[in-house]
Structure 1
Amino acid sequence: MLSRSTWRCGGGYNVERAKEGVEQRVVVVMGATGTGKSKLSVQLSSIFGGEVINSDKIQVYRGLDVTTNKMPVVDRRGVPHHLLGELDPSTGELPPAGFRSLASHLIGDISARGRIPVVAGGSNSFIHALLSNRFDPLTDPFGGRWRPVKEGLRYRCCLIWVHVEAAVLAEQLDRRVDEMVGEGMVEELERYFAVEGESERHPGLGKAIGVPEFRSYFTGRGRRTSAALEAALSAIKANTRWLAEAQVRKIDKLAAMGWPLRRVDATAAVAARLAGVPQAAPWRSDVADPSVSAVAQFLAEEEEEAGRRRRRASRTSVVLNS
């Protein structure tokens, strides 16, 4: 069994929401790109009555659905998703402070309707901005001369880290790029550059891996040769692997800050997929079942705590009115 201290993220709860009898409990599914975060978020939301809040800083924008690897609607299994392809890229780049504001509003709304916010991602700078009590929009919590500083969090939350061993994940990411090509990524980028040209009018969406790598291919004066195409795809693969490594380093830093992360290992499930054998069993035993158990315990403990608070409030009211 997991102890309450393992799962209660430090820090309090929103007083105004608590006064309304609505507890803001948040489930967060994090990890490097390609580990299965989106899949797990949908599974948990389906079981516990959740709604997903996307925290990928590129997927928040409309457009380039294949290139940015947005989860197809059919794979969302009817689970409501927020901030996924909703923002107009022409409005400018969404900063962490902007995400904090948007996602906080969504958490309040989802909680008020008696459902569970499930934050999925993605961009650890966005997750840190949303959850940290020490958030400073002028400071990069992961950069510079970094040192671990213990932090309290704004919500009562359950943090799940989906991990895949580096070598297996690298192979998975390379395979995913090949699959995205089959799904029309190159054609999608061609349409994008036909509109954008050589200019960079959309600094947020324009940072999606795939856009810089194909810019010269579609807008340069050179010929669109097979060698140039392969070079662009190789760059996408290399930069995606680099992104995954950077994401893991940031998650390690969040753990060093005192964030109580529960790590589940999806290595066997991803390896099974790469080998072309069924992955349902290792995914269920190594990822889904432990995550479901953790969230169930977290929510049960929160209900117990909410009951204690209500009883204390009732006793206080009796004393004050006597």
Structure 2
Amino acid sequence: MEPLIAIVGSTGTGKSKLAVDLASRFNGEIINGDAMQLYRGLPTITNQIPPEERNGIPHHLIGCVELEKEPWRIGLFKKESLRLINDIHSRGKLPILVGGTHYYTQAVLFNESIVGDVVDSMRDGKDRSEGDISSSTRWPILDAPTDVVLQKLKEVDPVMANRWHPNESRKIRRSLEVYFQTGRPASEIYAEQKRLTREAMENGTAGPGQLRFQTLVLWVHANKEILNARLDKRVDAMIEQGMMTEASQMLDYLQARRSQNLTIDPTKGVWISIGFKELEPYLSALSEGSMSKGELEALKHSCIESVKTATRQYATSQIKWIRNKLWTSLAEIDMTHRLFLLDSSNVENWDKNVSEPSENLVQLLLRDEPTPDPKCLSELARVTLEAREARSSERSESAWQCITCDTCQKTLANEEQWNIHLRSQRHKRGVKAAAKKAGRDEYIRKREDPDIVHNEAD
């Protein structure tokens, strides 16, 4: 298997810098795995690494999509990335995939699962077997309210229906669509997937869900409080570097298209990038000229704070993906020892904490030598990975079943949340209230039942 370095982590942790460091050291080329950085002409809003910081290293799939184009579907991204990886290998160089949109990255790292093409087509918003006919056109129930979709899922796949919380509309729809696309319950397909993966591991073959390459996954991570403060400062720097100007250009473009009766979906593509939608209220008010200078300044400050909040939330979601989705996929094939956490909390110790350990790991990978225990790299690595291992070992299949508290009329996503709920003050108050109500109801029933009144009198 050919080598591949994958660098993952939240925004603001230093993924791009590490990629350049390693590419410079090991004759590598970099492939961008961030959906927003595919777009051309918006280097600040999309956080593209400046050309002067690339050290002459080729960066692929960055700034290659025009503003008006549809976002790349995951299938297209995977196809282009695999083509580039093979090309880089053929020239004797080391491919380095830098992920920001982690489900893009994960699609490249792992072999197709049984339902891989189906899931890809759902993310792409189109059913490949029927050309350009969308799934919701073929099966209108997918556009119905979530409770209707859930009820249908209970009929065709009760196992998956019991797994999802009623508020997890996307997962509920996806499970039902898998049934429509394949004619088989998603739970049955995933069970088969696990069985084939287990057999492939036992036989030493590259089965579904296995890594495509001899992969080293480097997770650049930082203490949450330190990272949040760093992200706030970075947003301020981006404002100074031209984020407001780029957002204004996007708004002008959008308005020009609308004036030509050309529609753009603001919920897709670069229009959902952090920065534009948060700054748009201020830019619109500035254009309209209906606010005083003081009101505009207050609105500007509020919009910039919204950018900071959205950035912190996005970082949290990226970390959750790594801890849950990526970790689980690696655990299922017994490959968590390929995931190394590098502590970038202290940028002054970058060489000691990030560059040097990562270079040593890459050298071991290229020499096909054993790598150390990932937990030994730093205290942050030990604490984070031990917590992930403990949580993973405690989880059983039943932990994925939703549980409904009849007392509180609340549905919990799994056994872990159920146990937390049982200890909550809300549940304890609900139990007491239910007991009091039951007592009152029993008292009223006795008072209103002549037979009970007569018997008590005797």
TM-score category (smaller protein) = 0.7 to 0.9
Q: Distance in 1 between matches of 2:214 and 2:73?
A: 24
Q: Hey, what does 1:204 align to over in structure 2?
A: 269
Q: Per the alignment, in what secondary structure is the counterpart of residue 137 of structure 1? A: helix
What is the root-mean-square deviation in Å for CA atoms of aligned residues?
Answer: 2.3
SS at match of 1:189: helix
Partner of residue 297 from structure 1, selected from 360, 364, 373? 364
> Take 1:58 and 1:172, find their aligned partners in 2: how far apart are those partners?
21
Matches of 2:110 and 2:302, distance apart in 1: 40
Q: Pick one of 221, 245, 248 that aligns with 2:316.
A: 245
- Shift of residue 206, structure 1, vs aligned partner: 1.1
3-state SS of 1:249 partner: helix
> Which position in structure 2 is the counterpart of 1:119?
97
Correspondence for 1:165? 223
1:256 and 1:121 map into 2 onto residues whose CA distance is: 17
Map Cα deviations across residues 119-160 of structure 1 (whole Å, 9 max, x no partner).
0121111011111222331467x9738999774111111110
8 Å contact from structure 2 (residues 75, 121) kept in 1: no
1:258-315: CA deviations, max 9, x gaps?
A: 253111111122xxxxxxxxx2xx101100000000001101118xxxxxxxxxxxxx
1:68-126 per-residue CA deviation (whole Å, 9 max, x = no partner) reads: 11110000010000001112232211121111011011001111111010001211110
| Contact kept? 2:23, 2:94, Cα under 8 Å | yes
On the 8 A contact 2:343/2:353 being kept in 1, the answer is: yes
227-236 vs 46-55, which deviates more?
A: 227-236
Q: CA deviation at 1:201?
A: 5.6
Code of the aligned partner of 2:328: A
CA distance 1:101–1:68, shift in 2 (3 Å): same
Alpha-carbon contact 1:59-1:70 (below 8 Å) kept: yes
What's the CA shift for 1:195?
2.0
| Cα deviation code 1:33-83 (max 9, x no counterpart) | 000000000000000000000000100110211111111000001000000
2:39–2:270: 8 Å Cα contact kept in structure 1? yes
- After superposition, residues 85-234 of structure 1 pair within 5 angstroms as 85-133=63-111, 134=113, 135=116, 136-138=119-121, 144=171, 151-197=209-255, 200=264, 203-219=268-284, 221=288, 223=291, 225-234=296-305
How many Å separate the matches in 2 of 1:36 and 1:29? 10
More helix by share: 2
Question: Percent identity, aligned pairs only?
Answer: 31
Partner of 1:31: 9
Alpha-carbon distance, 1:191 to partner? 2.1
2: distance between equivalents of 1:28 and 1:257? 15
Counterpart CA distance in 2 for 1:67 and 1:215 is 13
TM-score (norm 2): 0.55
- Separation of aligned partners in 1, 2:63 and 2:329: 31
Distance 2:306 2:277 in 1: 9
Asked if structure 1 preserves the Cα contact closer than 8 Å seen for 2:5 and 2:97, the reply is yes
Counterpart of 1:292, as a letter, is E
Structure 2 Cα separation of the partners of residues 262 and 138 of structure 1? 31
| Aligned position for 2:61 | 83
C-alpha displacement at 1:192, in angstroms?
2.2
**Which range is displaced more, 148-157 or 43-52?**
148-157
Matched, 1:66 2:44: yes
Q: How many residues align?
A: 268
Deviation at 1:188, TM superposition (A): 2.0
Inter-partner Cα distance in structure 2 for 1:144 and 1:293? 40
CA contact (8 A) 1:90 1:201 kept: no
Work out the CA distance in 1 between the residues paired with 2:106 and 2:318. Answer: 12
- Any residues of structure 2 matched to 1:11-26 within 5 Å, and which? 13=1, 24-26=2-4
- Offset of residue 219 of structure 1: 3.1
Q: Which has the higher contact order (CA 8 A, sep 6+)?
A: 1
List alignment gaps of at least 5 residues for structure 2.
124-167, 176-186, 198-208, 331-335, 370-458
Q: Distance in 1 between matches of 2:120 and 2:354?
A: 34
Deviations 1:177-200 (A, max 9, x none): 000111111122112212222663
Counterpart amino acid of residue 282 in structure 2: Y
Unaligned runs of 5+ in 1: 1-12, 14-23, 270-278, 303-322
Q: Distance in 2 between matches of 1:226 and 1:54?
A: 36
Point out the structure with max Rg over C-alpha. Answer: 2
